Structure 1
Amino acid sequence: MYTLAARWHHLTAPLVADAALRETTFQELATAYQASGRHYHTLQHIENLLNRLERAPLQDAGVVQLAVWFHDAVYNPLKSDNEARSAAQALAFLQASTLEPARQQRVAFLIERTQDHTQPQPLDDVDLLSFLDADLSVLGASEADYWTYARQVRREYRLVPDLLYRPGRRKILAKMLAAPVLYHTPAMRQELDAAARRNLQAELNAWERGGL
């Protein structure tokens, strides 16, 4: 098993000749994901996605992995432009790469699609669907792991009082539960859908009773 640093350099060395730029960017990403306000959107989240996507039948694994690394590079719970800014950060790094412009834009596109997982997705885009499913895989985790995730997200919104957080979180949970499809790929749907819906309903019930 590669360390995360080794996995980053294995991915980017064929694309970016400047070793100093690769290392500086890795340190910038590591610093962002390890910021004091991060509790769920951390390097562990990145590692979990990379591990899960290793098992997915991707058409352009390199592009998907780049999207994983950058997709939460910017994460301010009080802002709505995190995905756009994360995509811009990826493109800024990739300007120095040999990656074709169309594939650079593809990285940005994948990142931007994580803004709202309940939106309709192109059914034939296996890489996008695999990426989005991996990003939501925590929803179908064991009950204990799901509650850890839910509390970590609440801590990331620690500046938002329960009076405001509760209705916002309830709305998000209800929206996901109402979505006809949570997981787009057959393997992930079979593995995680039922557990995810149980977990989401349990958290929604908790907030309707007053809180976690």
Structure 2
Amino acid sequence: MMDPRTEAGWKAAWRALGAAAPDGLHAQLLAAWSEPQRHYHTLQHLGECLTLAEELGDEMDHPSEVVLALWFHDAVYDVRAHDNEAQSAQWAERALREAGVAANARKRIMDLIMATCHGAADAPASQDSAILIDIDLAILGSSEPRFAEYETQVRAEYAWVPPEIFAVKRREVLRGFLSRERIYATGTMHTRYEAQARRNLSRAVGIA
């Protein structure tokens, strides 16, 4: 798993956009991803996403934009809020504008961040958004032990929700993914993760 604390990939993504990250931004993002209310949406998740992005770079139209979108996609994370993606996208927009990144690239990165809302099974708007969404959902197709860890981590983030309510709502979310014709839009990720994701989800909702 890639270590987000290593700056090489971070700096390379900015260079590919003809810019340099604003001073202190890398440290600010690391601090955000390390906030105490996080248990799943942590540097572990970010590192897993960045590792997959590196593996899938040849399939992307704008790899550096996908990488930066991943850095920002859960940069703002308040488990009780409903606008985390929008807040994260706005943070990205401010940073990218400050760095002098072109408007079209800024718009694509913001759209990628907003694509991680996962509120519907609509077709992704671009190849890069399809890859990024698949990367963000790769945890569903992870090994059985990692998926179990993920479920524990999510429960910890929602520790304030009564168990009986959490169980119902969580089952609804997981059944939503399971009901999709395809969980993963891209061929590579579908081949790699689809079958395992359906096994994990079926067990989690009690139909396996």
TM-score, length-normalised on structure 1? 0.89
Q: Which residue of 1 aligns with 2:146?
A: 145
Residue of structure 2 in register with 1:191 after alignment: 192
Q: Which among 56, 61, 82 is matched to residue 84 of structure 2? A: 82
Match of 2:41 in 1: 41
5+ unaligned residues in a row in structure 1: which ranges? 207-212
Please, which of 112, 115, 118 is the counterpart of residue 116 of structure 1? 118
Query: Residue type matched to 2:203 in 1?
Result: A
- The answer (yes or no) to whether the contact 1:87–1:112 under 8 Å persists in 2 is yes
In structure 1, how many angstroms separate the alpha carbons of the residues matched to 2:86 and 2:8?
Answer: 27
Letter in 1 for 2:55: R
The CA distance in 2 between the partners of 1:134 and 1:149, in whole Å, is 15
1:70 corresponds to which residue?
A: 72
TM-score, length-normalised on structure 2?
0.90
- Specify the alignment match of 1:134 in structure 2: 135
Aligned alpha-carbon RMSD (Å): 1.9
Given that 2:130 and 2:186 are in contact with CA atoms closer than 8 Å, whether structure 1 keeps it comes out as yes
In 2, the alpha carbon distance for the partners of 1:205 and 1:76 equals 29
Structure 2 unaligned blocks of 5 or more: none
Give the match's secondary structure for 2:38: coil
Sequence identity (%): 34
User: 1:55 is matched with which residue?
Assistant: 55
Please name the residue that 1:105 is paired with. 107
Displaced runs of 4+ in structure 1, greater than 3 A?
13-17
Partners of 2:43 and 2:53 in 1: how far apart?
15
Partner of 1:7: 9
SS of equivalent to 2:164:
helix
